[in-house]
Chains A and B, each alone.
Chain A
Amino acid sequence: MTGLIALPGTRPSEVAFIARANPVAKLAVAMVIPIALILTVDPVTAGTALLLEILALPWCGVGPRRLLRSGWIVLLSAIPAGLLTLLFAADSGRLIAGLGPVTITAGSLTAAAAIALRILAIGLPGVVLITTTDPTDLADALAQVLHLPHRFVLSALAALRLFGVLAQEWTMLTMARRARGFDTGFGRADGFGLGAARRVGGQVFALLVLAIRRATVLAVAMEARGFGVDRRRTWARPSRFRRSDLAIALGGLLIAVLATVAGVVTGSWNLVLT
């Protein structure tokens, strides 16, 4: 989890142009490119988008190591998805290699490349958004720039902070259960199956009870400090959508358009639904 969500409170002091942009601009990019890529499965559109994204990376301020650390799950899903398509997609075109029912043809090679590139091109802007955006800043932007209801946004933000606490609670529960005579993990004293499932279920229930209790106290503390009263609140951290942010959002749109044009011009673009 820590790899996926930048832990609340760890605001990297971003200097790169895109990294320090308003979160809404980054969010726009991370939404418009996937929309263009979801429409089609072809290697040219996805490849062009990925290429342009990689060209923009230097302005994102995310080095290869940091990218890999938070984006490994995207990479991890692209590789098997591509491989499976390569081996099992419907045959078409020239036969390149074959072993019994498993064949690799020119058609399946194209499809595999399209699938893998598409996952990477869709995932990359999201990974950049997550690694360079502090959750508090994102919430500020959602409420102030997009004018989403602040009660909802701030409650979600407070809940996100409790997530880390829940991970600690789970560890404590696991140990407390060992102390009560329940082995941890599967396959030990009581074996697999129903018993183990029931034990994990019980622990999940206990975690929920603790979570609700904490959330209730937190809600009381928040209300006592004036949260939830129907009055226009002020913002200690103003979130502004500047011209540079607009430029970044438009840049994302440009990538989506260029990729689609490249796909259409080369005749590679094909609407998924047809």
Chain B
Amino acid sequence: MLNRPALNRTAGSGAAVQARGWGWRYGTRKAWAVRGLDLRIEAGERVMLLGPSGAGKSSLLAGLAGLLDPVESGGDEEGELLLDGVPARQARVQGVRAGQPLTGLLLQDPQAQTVLARCGDDVAFGLENHAVPADQIWPRVEQALREVGFPYGIEHPTAALSGGERQRLALAGVLALRPGLLLLDEPTAMLDPDGADLVRESVAAVLAVTGAGCLLVEHRVAPWLAMIDRVVVLEPGGGVHADGPPEVVFAKQSEALAAAGVWVPGVRIGRTRPASRVQASNGGTSDPRRQDAGTLDAGTQREQLLTAAGLAARRPGQVESVVQDLDFTVQAGRALCVTGPNGVGKSTLALTVGGLVAPAAGTLHAGQSLDAGAGPDPITWRAGELVSRIGTVFQEPQHQFVASTVAAELAVGPARVRGRHRPDPQQVAARTDELLERLRLTHLSRANPFTLSGGEQRRLSVATVLATAPRVLVLDEPTFGQDARTWVELTALLAELLAEGAAIMVATHDQELVDELGHPDLGEVLAL
């Protein structure tokens, strides 16, 4: 795969970073994203950048890429941010003039980084902008695609790529330019484990060949550790909190980092049991969960809320089914974890079980207590009947937001409920307050949902669904792109809901989440 040396840059060349009292504030914000940053990174160093959300990690990467312009965006800049001694913004322009950039930026969202319709054209885009002579473009495109192990030819349509393939294509587009410093902003957060492995391997292989350095932002630290020389922890509001070799930083800072949402290597963050379970375990039996089950009403514990028989599911608007012949039950107080690689049909199945897409074949029937007069087929229910029975949390929280404040968002669902499940206004207000408190959203109750951070949006999307107290909860990749802190909160909440007798179906490729909820004591795993 790496049978050819780098075209322009010789081994050992990279770009050095120097920040002197650097700060940046976006034009629309009051607070500084980064302030007073002093940092030196040598050429070719591989640095992992950590810190709580809001510490300005992404802003630093954007600044180094030369994309923060106080004149164009109306932001404020102070101090200096230099690449090989040249201000980063100027370095970007000079890099284009010289035909080779100092930095290359890879972002989180694969879908939003594809520029053109054919894979080869997409990789060639950066080379064209840097005025690489036309006869050199295609050999370099081919080489970059080989380096990332891309399985398709240059004519392959980008529309047909999976998330992981798309991300490798974007990486090829960056690598084709032979940057001295790779800026990686959570490049694998939205990929399944196999796709993430491939992207990581590609990055490691290319860094080894080109001698380029990297600056990496990522919540999940462990898989990257082997290729990292140094860890820098940023302080929210400005400055460097810790700096050094990975083993030293992780040994000294593990608690602070874990609190900041970083998956610290060696610290197991799973096994979060809700308080009720902990108390139950103090009861002295060998298996706390069995006792827990015993204390619950036996009737609700194993009740079959949804039964699928020979179920096939297809994406909305398509004819072919992606999954077929599935038989399973969704039971009260149990979790059903649907796993499998990207594109296998997990989300489609979740939408079908959620009563949002009609089954392609077979049946999905609601049990009598869930049906409660609405009929056996969830897809035929009115939306007002659905919300109090089955709640679906979408992969992308923003798809679900319909109101202009967080508090109003929580009041929407209950007001839509039809029939005898409809709560009275006092109940709604009490439930809203409780949910705000439980999901740490109280201080944001008047904020616009679209302005929240990723973790806050995720918590809100779960809260909106819980507001109508559905018996069945369907979640599609709830931990996608979330930091360790949100992850722990979410898993604890789901475990609590199970204990309260709710049924949960979760479509995910997060192995840790499956370990947690798919544990035989809590639920089952359905591998597609």
Chain A positions near chain B (C-beta within 8 angstroms): 7-11, 134-136, 157-158, 161, 164-165, 169, 171-173, 175-184, 188-189, 202, 206, 209-210, 213-214, 217-218, 220-227, 229, 231-238
CA A179 – CA B476 in complex, angstroms? 13
Question: Who on chain A is nearest to B468 by CB?
Answer: A181
6 contacts between A and B (CB under 8 A): A158-B115, A176-B394, A221-B107, A221-B115, A233-B131, A237-B121
- Contact check, A224 vs B67: say whether CB atoms are below 8 A apart: yes
Identify which of B62, B354, B355, B402 gathers the most chain A CB atoms within 10 Å of its CB: B402
Find chain B residues with CB under 8 A from A183 CB: 382-384
State which of B31-39, B278-286, B410-418, B516-524 sits at the interface with chain A: B410-418
The residue from A165, A181, A213, A238 contacting B412, defined by CB atoms under 8 A apart: A181
Interface residues on B, range: 35 or more
Given known A182-B416, A221-B170, A226-B96, contact A177–B402 (CB-CB < 8 A): yes
The residue from A136, A176, A178 contacting B117, defined by CB atoms under 8 A apart: A136
Find chain A residues with CB under 8 A from B400 CB: 176, 179-180
Given known A9-B159, A161-B117, A209-B398, contact A225–B391 (CB-CB < 8 A): no
- Contact check, A178 vs B383: say whether CB atoms are below 8 A apart: yes
CA A225 – CA B130 in complex, angstroms? 8
Q: Is B319 an interface residue (CB 8 A)?
A: no
- Contact check, B117 vs A9: say whether CB atoms are below 8 A apart: yes
Find chain A residues with CB under 8 A from B387 CB: 179-181
Identify which of A176, A179, A220 gathers the most chain B CB atoms within 10 Å of its CB: A179
CA A220 – CA B382 in complex, angstroms? 42
Find chain B residues with CB under 8 A from A214 CB: 109, 111-112
State which of B9-17, B133-141, B201-209, B288-296 sits at the interface with chain A: B133-141
**Count, A-B residue pairs, CB within 8 A:** 185
Question: Who on chain B is nearest to A184 by CB?
Answer: B383
Find chain B residues with CB under 8 A from A217 CB: 107, 109, 112-113
CA A224 – CA B181 in complex, angstroms? 12
- Contact check, A136 vs B384: say whether CB atoms are below 8 A apart: no
Question: Who on chain B is nearest to A176 by CB?
Answer: B399
- Contact check, B416 vs A227: say whether CB atoms are below 8 A apart: no
- Contact check, A225 vs B126: say whether CB atoms are below 8 A apart: yes
Q: Is B482 an interface residue (CB 8 A)?
A: no
Known: A180-B400, A206-B402, A235-B134. 4 other contacts (CB 8 A): A164-B159, A213-B398, A225-B173, A237-B121
Find chain A residues with CB under 8 A from B118 CB: 9, 11, 136
- Contact check, A233 vs B129: say whether CB atoms are below 8 A apart: yes
Closest 10 CB pairs of A and B: A181-B416, A9-B157, A8-B117, A226-B129, A225-B126, A9-B117, A217-B112, A224-B105, A236-B124, A229-B96
CA A224 – CA B394 in complex, angstroms? 30
The residue from B96, B111, B386 contacting A231, defined by CB atoms under 8 A apart: B96
Find chain A residues with CB under 8 A from B355 CB: 178
A235 → chain B closest CB, angstroms: 6
B396 → chain A closest CB, angstroms: 7
Q: Is B114 an interface residue (CB 8 A)?
A: yes
Find chain B residues with CB under 8 A from A179 CB: 354, 356, 383, 386-387, 391-392, 394, 400, 465
A43 → chain B closest CB, angstroms: 41
Find chain A residues with CB under 8 A from B157 CB: 8-10
Find chain B residues with CB under 8 A from A224 CB: 65, 67, 103-105, 174
Find chain A residues with CB under 8 A from B120 CB: 236
Given known A8-B159, A136-B117, contact A225–B356 (CB-CB < 8 A): no
Question: Who on chain B is nearest to A223 by CB?
Answer: B67
Question: Who on chain A is nearest to B173 by CB?
Answer: A225
Find chain B residues with CB under 8 A from A220 CB: 62, 67, 105, 107
Question: Who on chain B is nearest to A175 by CB?
Answer: B356
CA A159 – CA B449 in complex, angstroms? 26
- Contact check, B399 vs A221: say whether CB atoms are below 8 A apart: no
CA A179 – CA B388 in complex, angstroms? 10
Find chain B residues with CB under 8 A from A176 CB: 392, 394, 399-400
Question: Who on chain B is nearest to A236 by CB?
Answer: B124
- Contact check, B159 vs A7: say whether CB atoms are below 8 A apart: yes
A161 → chain B closest CB, angstroms: 6
Find chain A residues with CB under 8 A from B402 CB: 177, 180, 182, 202, 206
